[in-house]
Each structure stands twice: as structure tokens, then as C-alpha cells.
Amino acid sequence: MKDRAILLVDDETDLLEMLQSIFERAGYTRILTAASGKAALKIWKEAKPSMIILDVMMPGMDGFEVCRRLGSSPDTAEIPVLMLTARGEEMDRVVGLSLGADDYVVKPFSVRELMLRVRAVLRRRKRPENGPVERHGIRLDPEAHRVISEGKEVALTATEFRLLEDLMRHAGAVRSREQLLDNVWGYTFEGYARTVDTHMRRLRSKLGESQKFLETVRGVGYRFNKEA
């Protein structure tokens, strides 16, 4: 896991150096850095990192725009993105998640929390893949990382893909937010239920008419309807 390339993106040189040092001490051997959003996209094309840790507030192309560009293309949508946001800026977190970020860490952050979240994201990428699943005209293929709905391919981020897969494989059962956090994100923290809700809204918007099969069970969680 630690031989996978991780791209760190921040315009603050001191913070970028600190992040690089943190990952090197943790045993990660392939650390890439970029001081701007434009540089980050260029490095991605050349190095194809397994994960991007991306600061929100940067001059020129900010983290939101980088995230939007990555999430809008099937070629890059599956790359996990962890965003760094300022303390108290809830809107940053909401916007980042709505644009396709997989998770976020609030500054100032603890090294332990940061590494926990990074490991959780990379661990999700290493999970053994199941075979394709198809329900109500939606076909999900984990090996190809493709979702076809109503005959058209749907570009989903890595987290949106796993969220849909979890719900489809448990069709008919109500999945609580805590269960989804644990299985899709790899951890459960009190107060992070909104992360699930934000990703569900984005997933529904991408599925179009097929979103009708994703049901909200108030006070509990979500369910993929087994019956048409």
C-alpha cells in the first residue's frame, strides 16, 4: 500500500514540506508535490498517482476547480481526493464533497487523523473485487470501474461507485449511515453522517431517472429498492 504514489497539493511551501515529511516518516516511498492546481493536473497526467491530497484555498485554480475537473472525466473520476479545509469553513467541505471529493480533513489537523483517513482510502482501493451486479437497468462492474444506467455510462468518483455498489449488493435492506461510513469510507466518526448525505445527493443527480430506486429511510439511512 505504501508504495503507491500520493500527490500532495498546496500553495504554502511550509505546509507542503511538512506533509511530505509526515508521509515519508510514515513509510510512504512515492510522494509527489505540486504548489498549484495547474501543476497538480499536469503531474497527474504524467505520474497517475493513486491518491491526491488537495488544499482548497489556492490562487489561480483552486482545489474546487481541480476536483471538478478530475471528477468530470471517466478517466480521472476514480482517483480518490482528500481535501484540506480551514477550520469552521463548513461550506468548503460541503462544496468539496459535492464536486466529488472522497473525504476531507480540517486544518489544523492531527497527524493521526490524516494518516487514518489516507489509509482508509487506500485500503478501499485494495479490497477484493466482486463480480458485476445489475438491477433495474443499472449495471455496475467493479473490475472495469464502470456503471451503465439506461444504456449510458455514468462517470462516478471512487466513493460514489462504492456507495452505489454497497446499496445494490444489499438491495432491499436499509443501510444506516454508520454502516455506509464503515463499509464505504472505512471508518465511522460521530458527526460525519452528512458526508454520506452529500455523496448520496451527488450520486442521485448523476443517475438521472434511475435515482428513483435510491430511497431515503428517514432517521435511519438509505435503501436500494429491490422491487421496480
CA-wise closest residue to 65 among 9, 14, 13: 9
Are both 50 and 90 inside the same structural domain?
yes
Q: Which of 80, 97, 126 is the last residue of a domain?
A: 126
Contact yes or no for 199/159 (Cβ under 8 A): yes
Are both 164 and 121 inside the same structural domain?
no
Are both 119 and 144 inside the same structural domain?
no
Kindly report, residue by residue over 158-205, the tens digit of the pLDDT. Answer: 889 989 999 999 999 999 988 888 888 776 555 567 788 988 999 999
Is residue 27 predicted with pLDDT exceeding 80? Answer: yes
> If you search the block for the grid coordinates 471517466, which residue do you land on?
74
* Cα(208)–Cα(56) distance, integer angstroms: 29
Range of the domain at 168: 133-224
Q: Which of 126, 144, 161 is the last residue of a domain?
A: 126
- Cell (9 digits) for 86: 480551514
**Alpha carbon distances (Å) from 189 to 26, 97, 101, 165, 181:** 23, 16, 18, 22, 8
The total number of structural domains that make up the chain:
2
User: To 10 degrees, the CA torsion angle through 107, 200, 95, 105?
Assistant: 10
Are both 149 and 198 inside the same structural domain?
yes
* pLDDT above 90 coverage of the chain, percent: 40
Are both 145 and 97 inside the same structural domain?
no
Q: Is residue 1 part of a domain?
A: no
Kindly report, residue by residue over 68-89, the tens digit of the pLDDT. Answer: 888 777 777 778 889 888 766 6
For strand 146-149 and strand 138-141, is the pairing parallel, antiparallel, or unpaired? Answer: antiparallel
What pLDDT is stored for residue 116 in this prediction? 85
State the CATH number of the domain containing residue 139.
1.10.10.10
Give the per-residue SS3 of 148-173: EECCEEECCCHHHHHHHHHHHHCCCC
Per-chain mean pLDDT for the chain: 86
Q: Which of 126, 149, 174 is the last residue of a domain?
A: 126
3-class DSSP state for residue 146? strand
